Amino acid sequence: MVISSMSCQWSYTTQLNFMAVVDALIPSSVVTSNCGCTVQYGGVPLSIWEYLLMSIDSLPVPLTEETSQLLDLSAFHIYKKRYPLSFLIYHPHTSQALFSTLSRKDRLRAINLLEKLMVPSDSFPVPYKNNPIIVQIMIDSLYQLTFFGYYSEWFGYGETRIHSPAFSSLRTYPVSWAYTGYPGPSFGYRDFRGFLLKMKDLKQE
């Protein structure tokens, strides 16, 4: 698996956490079909974590570092529950990318705990601190952006992905189109099956 790392603008630990999110939501998997077994690449090889990073840093208030920390705090909460007697201490620097150390199942749990507001929020970074709605909206966005990025043409922008969207253009086939059978943009289809009603028929009534 080649991880394209065109983006040096985010700390490595933040990148790891976003890869870990995307990998939990859309992992690479083996798909069986009439033609046998094939690999369906997940969100990490399709660089969807970069789409997440770029999107979240393009918000009116950029939030990638804070969101990464949020994920670490939820991971810390899970570790703490699991090893209640240990001397685990959360530190924003030394605990960076803690979330990415969790198993897939636990990462989903960590995301879910945040959504369900089951992680104490007084230690969250601003603006998440004691602001449950913003936490939930960000968790919703992680799902939404991952799914939208993955199943849209985003991967196809190739090396132009990192540009401002006004300067990117399709460079390669967006492989996720093959996963859904979407033929891509179209000029038209000839699946015209007539009309059930016409306005002129109503007007005559």
Partner 1 sequence: MQKPDVIVIGAGGGGAVIAKELGELGLCVLVLEAGPWYGNKQWPHPNIEKGGFCSRSVADLDVSLFKESYNKLENNMNDQIAGKLRWGPANRENPPWNRNFQQRGFAWQNSGVGGSTQHYLANSPRAIPSAIERQWPLSYRELIPYYEKVEAELPVEFAPTTSKEELFYYGAKKAGWNLLSTLDVGSPGFRPQPNAILPPNENLLHPAYTEEQLSWMEGCTLAGHCINGCPHGPSVAKIAKRSTNVSYVPLALNTGKVEIRPNTFSYQVITENHPKEGIRATGVKVRNTWTGEKEELFADCIIIAAGAIETPRLWLNSSLPFNPWAGRGLVNHNMDMVTGVFNEIELLPILGTPAVNPFVGHTSGARLDYPGLGSIQIIGTSPGLMASFSYALGHSETKTFHQNSNENAFKTGRVIGKELIELMADYQTSLSILIVTDDEVDQKNNVSIVPATLDEHGAIPSIRYDPTRNTRRKKGKLVKIAADILFQAGARKVIHSHWPDGLMIHIMSTMRMGYVVDENCEALQVSRLFIADNSVLTNGLGGANPTLTTQALATRTAEKIYNKYF
- d(CA 144, CA 104) in angstroms, rounded, equals 18
Strand partners, 36: 33
Give, as one character, the DSSP assignment of residue 153.
S
Query: In this complex, which beta carbon is closest to partner 1, that of residue 85 or of residue 202?
Result: 202
- Minimum Å gap between C-beta 136 and partner 1 is 5
- Minimum Å gap between C-beta 197 and partner 1 is 4
Query: In this complex, which beta carbon is closest to partner 1, that of residue 17 or of residue 149?
Result: 149
Q: Which residue has the tokens 């990025």?
A: 149
Query: In this complex, which beta carbon is closest to partner 1, that of residue 88 or of residue 169?
Result: 169
Query: In this complex, which beta carbon is closest to partner 1, that of residue 53 or of residue 73?
Result: 53
Joined together, the tokens standing for residue 47 give: 């660089």
Joined together, the tokens standing for residue 1 give: 């698996």
Query: In this complex, which beta carbon is closest to partner 1, that of residue 36 or of residue 84?
Result: 36
- Minimum Å gap between C-beta 94 and partner 1 is 30
Q: Phi and psi for 31 in degrees, rounded to 5?
A: -115, 130
- Minimum Å gap between C-beta 16 and partner 1 is 20
- d(CA 141, CA 175) in angstroms, rounded, equals 23
- d(CA 119, CA 134) in angstroms, rounded, equals 14
Query: In this complex, which beta carbon is closest to partner 1, that of residue 90 or of residue 182?
Result: 182
- Minimum Å gap between C-beta 95 and partner 1 is 25
- Minimum Å gap between C-beta 164 and partner 1 is 5
- d(CA 180, CA 112) in angstroms, rounded, equals 27
Give residues in contact with partner 1 (CB under 8 A). Answer: 24-27, 29, 31, 40, 54-55, 58-61, 108, 112, 115-116, 133, 136-137, 140, 143-154, 164-167, 170, 176-177, 179-183, 185-199, 201-202
- d(CA 171, CA 38) in angstroms, rounded, equals 24
User: CB of 26 within 8 A of CB of 43?
Assistant: yes
